Amino acid sequence: MIKPTISRHQHSAHWGAFQAVVEDGRFVAVEPFQGDCQPSPISQALPDAVYNSARIAHPMVRRSWLERGPGAAPEKRGAEPFVQVSWEQALRLVGDEIERVKGDFGNAAIFAGSYGWASAGRFHHPITLIKRFFNTIGGFTNQVGNYSVGAGLILLPYVVGTTRATGGPLTSWDSIAGNTELFVSFGGLPLKNSQVADGGIAIHTIESWQHRAKEGGVEFVNVSPNREDCADFLEAEWIAPRPNTDVALMLGLAHTLASEGLADQRFIDRYCVGYQRFSEYLLGTLDGTAKNADWAARICDVSAETIRTLARRMASHRTMLNTNLSLQRGDHGEQPFWMTIVLASMLGQIGLPGGGFGLGYGSISGMGVPQTEIRPLRMSTGTRAIDSAVPVARFVDMLLNPGDSIDWNGRTVVFPDIRMIYWAGGNPFSHHQDINRMVSAFQRPDTIVVHEPWWTPMARMADVVLPITTSLERNDIGASTRDRFLVKMEQAIEPVAEARNDFDVFAALAERFGTLEAFSEGRDEMAWLRHLYDTTLQAAQDIGVELPDFDGFWDAGHAEVPAPAEPYVMFADFRADPDANPLKTASGKIEIFSQSIDDFGYDDCPGHPTWLEPAEWLGSSIASDYPLHLLSNQPRARLHSQLDCATVSRATKIQGREPVWINTADAADRGIHDGVVVRIFNDRGALLAGAHVTEAMRIGVLQLPTGAWYDPQEPGVPGTLDVHGNPNVVTLDKGTSKLAQGPVAQTALVQLERYEGPLPAIKAFDPPP
């Protein structure tokens, strides 16, 4: 009997580093990274994903587009059969179409601002590569910002002068464990989110840090409609406001601090500007309405006494305030972040060990993990050739309304007329709201080109689909700004079928346009990896951090950046000497009132934090027709939509559908029990999901994870039933405000009922005809 040939290859993904076990050339298993005591189970799905029937094996072209050319039968996108072509023909078709659109309409008519997490590899990063390629041939229309922190990224520079308050580094967990007495988290600290980090995470430590904080005496408060947004071992007090009312709750807390003399006026006077203007609003001096605990209680449906008691506890303890990223993904999402900073300023503990605020603990792995910062390993997208861009969450508005304009961050954005979409490295069906509206928008351009390893919903909407390698089929380096490790991502297997990597595809196109040297700089894959690593090595040496050279790193399989000697405290330098270390705001201080924002004159984002009624919430008139608030969270068994086709994610489904969490009382009112299929609907659309009945959800609130592959009963037809459970069929597509124009996925009212009749088959993972 011949023994199989077994090899192991160091590799990494957004959810963790691992060894890829290969037997006779086939990827068969995953072994966790040495030292990772809490590895994510998501990696176990990789062997199935790599060889899944949903893999795209060959270049494919939609039939009408192939036969009749660009713009043919756009209403058939998502429904029409594909025709297999050679790579030579596919690249010729794509190159010809780029040339046509450039020549006839200009580069701004090409939308190549792909969005998504893509691979953990820093070189084979398609969103970087696509921008780099198009910048060498005259430019493209880009997306700016992101869905994760869309409102926060625009707001924070005005208020604290940096976006680091949400991206990190945040005050480190060792500082929290040693100094914090009370940790109040708006949106909780869900451990499932600590599985993932962009660029990967070698050793998962968040759960251990939370244990250490709890054992050190930190008390936790979970302000969330979901009790399980804090781990049981934290024994957190649970306060469950109506969704989208956290700002009202924070105002009630602030009013208690102000009216009971608990606010730190010395801190406010020394480190902040604009408190007087905000105070007039808070106390009701101008509008006659004091934003006190009784006022807040009526809005958020939390007792006034609970609000007052919490405010007093915060003032009498070393308190860390945290607001999860999900809160700013609601209507007027700028306000929760801003109000968190104001509340922390009133407590006066910003810059103290274990005190102040953080925006994103519990949202992603690495937040607050002690780390020594070095320049991230990153490839340049090149010089922008044209200034054409839209806020990331407004790209559907752009496609539907060419020539229209929107206000954004103090300027006017005019939508270009997009004739070609080129997408690589993401799936907007897991990120963007109101899928039926997006399907209509995707019927507008002449051509859609997509790079993908799998037949995702985005690939199905394409005219030309190019099959791309997974990270296991190429060499790369995994690295995250929130991780202390650089990880070798060694090619473990040969490319499946005709898959090619994105770099080679864009290099071939660049050669056609005469820009290969500008795109590749004369480097192949390994030369680029060496170059990128060497730039990070130099940055590390500049701050006294020793790392192995590239050959030593590649041989060892990873390089570890030493942990810092001392805990990190955000804004400690500013607190120690605000004159010598001013913030990069207009005033150099924390802007409780921002004159810059106020001067924009936006009615939906005034110059200080304000309670603004959301477009949809449980206190609104439409709640009589749609009495349930739907929250769409990060799933437990995948990252967004990545690997939904594979074993780990599919094992969590209920009768093949994504599970929706529903309170026991809400379920009983509708005759629903655990495991049945339900229909969730509103005026925007309808979907099927599997019911998970639980006491952990607040009454009147549903929770349905993002990322189930969109599976319409009638492909390509807007308004049809999604049979698989994608929440974006019913979410609201509008901007947070004229300031940030961020997404508002967490602002959505729906109704739910038991689904009657034969269950439609799940076809999301079957290749199209």
State how far the Cα of 721 lies from the Cα of 711, in Å rounded to an integer. 8
State how far the Cα of 60 lies from the Cα of 557, in Å rounded to an integer. 36
State how far the Cα of 728 lies from the Cα of 708, in Å rounded to an integer. 10
Question: Looking at 15, 65, 117, 617, which residue is catalytic?
Answer: 117
Per-residue CA distances from 74 to 159, 400, 448, 465 (Å): 45, 14, 10, 15
Please give the angle made by the CA atoms of 54, 198 and 497, to the nearest 5 degrees. 25
State how far the Cα of 183 lies from the Cα of 671, in Å rounded to an integer. 39
- In Å, the largest CA–CA distance within the chain is 88
Per-residue CA distances from 216 to 55, 212, 502 (Å): 48, 6, 48
- What is the strand order of the sheet 110-111 is part of? 82-84, 60-62, 464-467, 447-452, 420-424, 110-111
- How many CA atoms lie within 13 Å of 671's alpha carbon, on the beta-carbon side? 5
**117 given a catalytic annotation:** yes
User: What secondary structure letter does DSSP report for 23?
Assistant: E
Q: For residue 752, which phi and psi values (nearest 5 degrees)?
A: -135, 140
Q: Which amino acid would we find at residue 513?
A: F
Tokens of 444: 């507008």
State how far the Cα of 298 lies from the Cα of 681, in Å rounded to an integer. 27
Q: Which amino acid would we find at residue 263?
A: A
Say whether 126 sits in a helix, a strand or coil.
Answer: helix
Residue with tokens 């208690």: 256
Tokens of 355: 């005190």
**115 given a catalytic annotation:** yes
Per-residue CA distances from 478 to 105, 132, 173, 490, 561 (Å): 38, 20, 24, 10, 14
**Closest to 204 (Cα-Cα) out of 419, 32, 392:** 32
Helices (H), 388-514: 395-400, 428-431, 435-441, 457-460, 502-512
Question: Looking at 15, 115, 173, 423, which residue is catalytic?
Answer: 115
Q: Which amino acid would we find at residue 419?
A: R
Say whether 564 sits in a helix, a strand or coil.
Answer: coil
Q: Which amino acid would we find at residue 723?
A: V
- The verdict on whether omega for the bond into residue 169 sits within 30 degrees of 0, i.e. cis, is yes
Count CB-CB contacts under 10 A for residue 573: 12
Active site members: 115, 117
